[in-house]
Amino acid sequence: MRRFGICILALCTCLMVGTSVRAIEMLPTFGDIDHIHLPALIVQHADGDQSLQLKAQDTTYIDNAQYKETVIATKDMVHPFYVTIHVRQWKDVAITETWYEISHTEKKPVRLQRFDSGYLPLENGDLYLVHLHGNWAGEAVPTVERLTRGVKSIRNSDGARNAHLDAPEVMISLDGMPQENSGRVFGAALCWSGNFEIRVAATDEKGFHFYAGIDPMASEYILSPKQVFTTPHLAYTYSNEGMGGVSRAFHRWARTCGMLHNGNTTRSILLNSWEGIYFDITEERIIAMMNDIAAFGGELFVMDDGWFGGKYQRNSDDAALGDWIVDTRKLPNGLEALTQAAKDRHIQFGIWIEPEAINTRSELFEKHPEWALQERGRELKLGRGGTQLVLDMTNPKVQDFVFELVDDLLTKHPEIAYIKWDANASIQNVGSTYLPRDKQSNLYIDYHLGLIKTLERIRAKYPNVVIQNCASGGGRANYGLMPYFDEFWVSDNNDALQRVYIQWGTSYFFPSNSMAQHIGGSPYLMTGRTTPIKFRCDVAMSGRLGMELQPAHMTDTERAQCTTAFKDYKELRELIQLGNLYRLVSPYEPVPVVEQQQVASLMYVNDAKDHAVLFAYGLSSFMKQSSRRIRLAGLDPERTYTLTERNVRQGEQPCALDGQSFTGAYLMSVGLDIPLSTEYNIDYPSRIFELK
């Protein structure tokens, strides 16, 4: 962090020195790019001029308990065009945020043609870029590549979500191939849920330049006089503890600096109805599932899609989005019967909604077809179920509708403790009936500003309802929406083996209490893979634990294992959800699999370093494979730690490591031979150890 901290402070000092100082080093503009070559800000002034040369006018400082912020007011040398540069440095976390406020008093609107959130020079060297790429059911695959001369660009053009395909977070190793726990690594996240572009440019031999911001593609922003456009924040860090150091900085920032709603609190163990019963909701089935989750020791039941609809029933994904009324054909006694049933079982109740969406087969569409995003004179492009559209969140009436739907649910049913907020469509119809014709290119941006405004209203009134951010799985795992949500759904793929990989990549930037991880069924419906219940539990237990299956289909052994898992998880929850993550062995690490077992392992350590939990998963199973020694990290070398095996497989005794003591130095340098034996034909072995 120090290196970048110094760099930013030096730039701030340089800008403070006098009014003649140009802002180019912090914000290269078109018309003033000099040696930096690519601009971070391009505008076309009201009179058609496209050049911009910003000079510092004034610098102010904010210094409070949490952060120091430098605010530099700049002005163009010719036009009444202003940019205020913000640099916020958090005190207890090695994260810096930058963003710009853009305004003008020109005679007519100014066109913002590119408007990044931050620019940073990076040193020359053997730089490697790591970014997360993935898709529905296969999210967050770390993609690693060497940066070469030229411009590398990572973008997302979904419109509504931005964590499927390419995500808005990257790491850059300054020391060759990135390592997990060593080496200098820069990490950055653009706090935005819409289209973005992250660029690393090496346009000459002198160095690399980093830019991140909203993707200007089809998004020229038309800025009226006196209107202030605030770019999303760019958050970045620097660590000489490798990628793990970058992750831990982001996790702490999310938890303690308000980037994750209620970030420093733990989350409940839940059962979600989706993969258990899909749209086949009945009062009887829901109450039976509540009985099950309560019997396991769970704390919350979430009724997913399928509970609503009037004239149009929600029996599949092709109808009723927008008609947020309880379907009394399925739930004759309304939500009241369900919230009461939850109360009787001492668990909480949660519900699914998809507020930004509408089906053409809905009463809402019959009443307000103009509320859907649409292109003038063109046929509608329809999404999920062949009938789904996205509501026009730029329209204040639609914002009110979305707010009122949540408000109505929570006022009528104050017992609702949890909302799963889904978003299953990208913006395919790029037109708004609300925005004026000359501001249609504001759509991609104003959509998200409207969404954020609505979420702010909801949070102001309902700060304590837990809200899950879901978008066809992990499509909205980003820091743009995180301040309004308590957690996000990591993936629709609950196959425990693939989850090890998906959760691994997701943990690069997001803390474990934000990562919703559910025990799925076996054989798993999407992949057909059979995995033991212990493995499924152990994989889900490394984040926010939940389950998503039909408990009625479980065997007695599976039920008993889940009960043990829930009990142990409750005792370890604070450590897992709020501890410091150390990734030990990557599932992506290549090994000669027949000779050596493919393994993944991670651990959490508390701040005092006197309590830790270790997860180890065997991913390949061949007879007579050699075991893998796992070296631990993050412990106090001087302390002695005693191991206790947790969530022991039903019918087995804890393994030989249980009860043994080792110094932190031994565990971190020599490591442990974790028994992930395949001798007994056990596919997908796993172990959890508590260290005290």
- Total residues binding ligand DGJ (CB under 6 A): 12
Q: Nearer to ligand DGJ by C-beta: 215 or 548? A: 548
Q: What share of the chain is helix, strand, coil (3-state, %, to 5)?
A: 25, 30, 45
Residue 473 Cβ vs ligand DGJ, minimum distance, rounded to whole Å: 5
Please state the three-class secondary structure of 349-382 as a single string. Answer: EEEEECCCEEECCCHHHHHCHHHECCCCCCCCCC
Residue 595 Cβ vs ligand DGJ, minimum distance, rounded to whole Å: 39
**Distances in whole angstroms, Cα of residue 586 to Cα of each of 133, 179, 286, 595:** 17, 11, 39, 17
Q: What is the DSSP string of 53-89?
A: -EEEEEEEEEE-SSEEEEEEEEEESSSSEEEEEEEEE
Catalytic residue IDs: 422, 492
Q: Which of 428, 454, 472, 597 binds ligand DGJ (CB under 6 A)?
A: 472
Residue pair 606/575 in contact (Cβ under 8 Å)? The answer is: yes
Which range touches ligand DGJ (CB under 6 A), out of 341-349, 426-434, 468-476, 611-619?
468-476
**Residue 304 near ligand DGJ by CB under 6 A:** yes
**Distance (Å, whole) CA 533 – CA 111:** 57
The β-bridge partners of 629 are: 673
Q: Cα(first)–Cα(last) distance of the chain, in Å?
A: 31
Q: Nearer to ligand DGJ by C-beta: 338 or 470? A: 470
Tell me phi and psi for residue 446, to 5 degrees: -65, -25
Q: Which of 157, 424, 441, 601 binds ligand DGJ (CB under 6 A)?
A: 424
The distance between the two most distant Cα atoms of the chain, rounded to a whole number of Å, is: 79
Q: Nearer to ligand DGJ by C-beta: 220 or 422? A: 422
Q: Nearer to ligand DGJ by C-beta: 352 or 434? A: 352
Q: Which of 186, 324, 365, 489 binds ligand DGJ (CB under 6 A)?
A: 489
| Chain residues 335-354 in contact with ligand DGJ, contact rule CB under 6 A | 352
CB atoms within 10 A of CB 358: 28
Which range touches ligand DGJ (CB under 6 A), out of 78-86, 465-473, 645-653, 657-665?
465-473
The β-bridge partners of 101 are: 84, 230
Q: Nearer to ligand DGJ by C-beta: 96 or 359? A: 359
Residue 493 Cβ vs ligand DGJ, minimum distance, rounded to whole Å: 10
Q: Nearer to ligand DGJ by C-beta: 12 or 270? A: 270
* Strands (DSSP E) found in 174-294: 185-190, 196-202, 208-214, 221-223, 229-230, 234-239, 270-272
Give the nearest residue (CB) to ligand DGJ: 305
**Residue 25 near ligand DGJ by CB under 6 A:** no
**Distance (Å, whole) CA 372 – CA 390:** 6
| Chain residues 314-333 in contact with ligand DGJ, contact rule CB under 6 A | 317
**Residue 524 near ligand DGJ by CB under 6 A:** no
Residue 468 Cβ vs ligand DGJ, minimum distance, rounded to whole Å: 9
Omega within 30 of 0 (cis) for the link into 225: no
**Residue 473 near ligand DGJ by CB under 6 A:** yes
**Distance (Å, whole) CA 178 – CA 169:** 15
At 102 the three-state DSSP class reads: strand
**Residue 470 near ligand DGJ by CB under 6 A:** yes
| Chain residues 250-279 in contact with ligand DGJ, contact rule CB under 6 A | 274
Dihedral angle sign, alpha carbons of residues 170, 175, 178, 182: negative
Residue 453 Cβ vs ligand DGJ, minimum distance, rounded to whole Å: 24
Residue 352 Cβ vs ligand DGJ, minimum distance, rounded to whole Å: 6
Structure tokens at 443: 């759509």
Q: Residue written as tokens 């829901």? A: 286
Residue 305 Cβ vs ligand DGJ, minimum distance, rounded to whole Å: 4
Which range touches ligand DGJ (CB under 6 A), out of 47-55, 469-477, 480-488, 504-512?
469-477
Structure tokens at 81: 């065009």
Residue 279 Cβ vs ligand DGJ, minimum distance, rounded to whole Å: 8
Q: Nearer to ligand DGJ by C-beta: 356 or 422? A: 422
Binding string, 59-78, against ligand DGJ, x = CB under 6 A?
Answer: --------------------
Give the residue from 510, 118, 528, 518 showing the smallest Cα distance to 300.
518
Q: Nearer to ligand DGJ by C-beta: 106 or 305? A: 305
Which parts of this chain interact with ligand DGJ (CB under 6 A)? 274, 304-305, 317, 352, 422, 424, 470, 472-473, 489, 492
